[in-house]
Structure 1
Amino acid sequence: MNAAAAGGGAPGPWGPPPAARPGGDPGALERALREVAPERYEAYEGMLRALAEGQVWMLLWHGSAGSPDAQYGNMDVSGHGYAPAVTSPEQLASSGWARGHEVISGQEIAASLYRTRWGLWLNPHAPGGGVGIPWADLRRIAAGLDRLPAGPLHLSEPQVQAPQFYGLLEHQALEVRAVRALRRAWVRPAVGEPYLAIGLELYDTSPPAVEAVRALMQRAIAVAPEGLAVSTVAMGDEYDPVAMWMRANARPFFDREAAGRPPVAPYPAQAYPPQASYPYGTQPPPAGPGWPQQPWPGYPGR
């Protein structure tokens, strides 16, 4: 990756560089890391919050901070790519890293890495191998942790009985020109309450179309069973884990074209191929001869 594009000494595309950001406890991330362990999802969420509010020292395999040829390091763990980082100047010293580094906010590096499905590995030199943060969790940091469900997600076909809700959705979806198909899933996040997700496959994502779909969902939710939490998922979001699961596993309960209704939009809907599964949460320590590992080719960029 061209590291200069994600941070460095000049303002990046997601705001000012870390030094210009107010507040933040510089020791919060390291304290949170010490609490992380398998199955301790609340502790893992606390670590993600500390990363979102803090900064990391990215290890550069090539170049120096702010230079056009700067590249982050590259780790492969169980077939998934991660860029290594450390959490303080002290950790940088103890890592023995002799090449360049770049200080960047957690928000910025999360927004940069997840778009190419790269994760972030914190303190890989530490006893036990450090902590890996998969790209799906970096996406949550970039979008706002409270806006997206906490993994690992347990996804299944909904068992809730809501005939009036589904009936109204199907009936009115015929009248909303933008809607091609509707899918559904029952989502149980690791932290928080379960909910019903409705996947929206649209012909048109212009503001008028989105507003018409929003109004449709509001009308349907008004007749949903009491206490049922409902959320919508854009099937066109290639990074959303619920949409990925529904594309692979959930048949539409409303399909305009399967019902013999011709497309009504000026262009056809995009086809979404099945997506592979992805990791969530703490990953096992990297295998190999120890730190530093064999030379990395560098994060390949966006």
Structure 2
Amino acid sequence: MSAGAVAGGASGPWGQAPAGRPGADPGALERALREVAPERYEAYERLLHALADGQVWMLLWHGTPGSPDAQYGNMEISGHGYAPAVTSPEQLAASGWARAHEVISGREIAASLYRTRWGLWLNPHAPGGGVGVPWADLRRIAAGLDRLPAGPLKLSEPQVQAPQFFALLERQASEVRAVRALRRAWVQPSVGEPYLAIGLDLYESSPPAVEAVRALMQRAIAVAPEGLAVSTVAMADEYDPVALWMRARTRPFYDREAAGLGRPTGAYPPVPPPGHYAPQSGYYGTQPPAQGWHGQSQASQQPWPGYPGR
């Protein structure tokens, strides 16, 4: 374990943060942590929910809470960065940490870390080395766990037979001037049902454009096969691993400019550039599929960097 500059390389708004959700069980996070193990995806989901509703004690390598020079410690496991934290005053005492710390809500630290692709490592001093929560899962916590699918996700080209659905999308996409291209992927979450993801590559994201695309999707879903779940993904989102996988691994099934229609006339705000991160083939997230336990040994066991591909 190494500690140094703040996660992401810059000091941030590390002042005293609000506690967890009012009425949240203060012991829920530690109970959930004890249940987590490889392949126990439901237990890991419970851990994420407990972290979202709770709070953690962040270990400050430098400075004090609220000071301009406050910096979190950091760890590197299997080439990925994590900021260490403990889950209670008792765990803080057991860790032997002699420098400053701050208490921060799970949602706030998740929102702070994922944007620089840093994860959160819980109780690294514990027997077994604790548990790491990769940045893609922190993004789920920040955005709402019910809004983003539970990983690790297995991604592939869709094999579903939905000719009317795709034909309607292609035909009407040419009439919606905001649509540059459409991509697709079949998504199998670790928890929940598989679904078809449609990647939306848009020229603009103004309210009228978003409403036109929403109406397009509603018309297409009306002719989709019964029981087929469909979701949309913004291809411009550099933090959405499903969009990154589609950009890296698939070709558009509709491309306005390749079809010779050209870019629509009129002024459009610039579209954010795609993320530079290329996920592993078949899975999305910050780590390749795990083969057993990872990291350096501690107390005759090895620390576990959370579920892969999240």
| Aligned match of 1:295 | none
1: CA distance between counterparts of 2:252 and 2:140?
26
Partner SS state of residue 102, structure 1? strand
Which position in structure 1 is the counterpart of 2:161? 161
Tell me which protein shows more helix as a share of its residues: 1
Following superposition, the deviation at residue 280 of structure 1 comes to: 8.1
Confirm whether residue 75 of structure 1 aligns to residue 84 of structure 2: no
Match of 1:298 in 2: none
Provide, for residues 150-201 of structure 1, a one-character-per-residue CA deviation record: whole Å limited to 9, x for no partner: 0000000000000000000000000000000000000000000000000000
1:32 alignment partner in structure 2: 32
Structure 1 counterpart of 2:230: 230
Aligned match of 1:266 = 267
Equivalence for 1:5: 13
CA distance in 1, matches of 2:139, 2:287: 13
TM superposition score normalised by structure 2: 0.86
Letter in 2 for 1:118: W
* Residues 68-104 of structure 1: per-residue CA shift (max 9 Å, x gap): 1110001111111100000000000010111000000
State the partner residue of 1:256. 256
Q: Provide the C-alpha distance between the structure 2 equivalents of 1:281 and 1:88, rounded to a whole number of angstroms.
A: 31
Distance in 2, matches of 1:119 and 1:174, equals 41
User: Which residue of 2 is the match for residue 123 of structure 1?
Assistant: 123
Kindly indicate whether the alpha-carbon contact (under 8 Å) linking 1:247 and 1:273 is maintained by their aligned counterparts in 2: no
Deviation by residue 1:41-62 (Cα, 9 ceiling, x = unmatched): 0000000000000000000000
CA contact (8 A) 1:196 1:230 kept: yes
| Distance in structure 1 (CA, Å) of the matches to 2:275 and 2:29 | 37
**Contact between 1:131 and 1:285, CA under 8 Å: does it hold in 2?**
no
2:58 partner SS: strand
Secondary structure of the 1:59 match is: strand
**Residue identity in the other structure for 1:134:** P
Of 175-184 and 65-74, more deviation after overlay is shown by: 65-74
Q: Is 1:98 aligned to 2:106, yes or no?
A: no
CA deviation after TM superposition for structure 1 residue 239, in Å? 0.7
SS state of the match for residue 115, structure 2? helix
Per-residue deviation at 1:215?
Answer: 0.4
Aligned-residue RMSD, C-alpha = 2.0
Match of 1:279 in 2: 287
Determine the C-alpha separation between the residues in 2 that align with 1:81 and 1:185.
Answer: 29
Amino acid at match of 1:251: R
Q: Deviations over 1:275-294 (max 9, x none)?
A: 2321389994542788xxxx
Mapped to 2, the partners of 1:53 and 1:194 lie a distance apart of 27
Mark the runs of 5 or more structure 1 residues left unpaired by the alignment.
10-16, 291-302
The verdict on how the C-alpha distance between 1:284 and 1:60 changes in structure 2, with shifts beyond 3 A counting, is farther
Give the deviation of 1:4 after TM superposition. Answer: 6.1
Q: Which residue of 1 aligns with 2:144?
A: 144
Q: Is there any run of 5+ residues in structure 2 with no aligned partner, and where? A: 1-5, 280-285, 300-310
Provide the secondary structure at the position in 1 that maps to 2:146. helix
CA distance, structure 2, for counterparts of residue 53 and residue 275 of structure 1: 29
Amino acid at match of 1:102: E
8 Å CA contact 1:7, 1:66 repeated in 2: yes
Q: What is the distance in 1 between the residues matched to 2:11 and 2:222?
A: 48
Q: Which has the higher contact order (CA 8 A, sep 6+)?
A: 1
Q: How many residues align?
A: 282
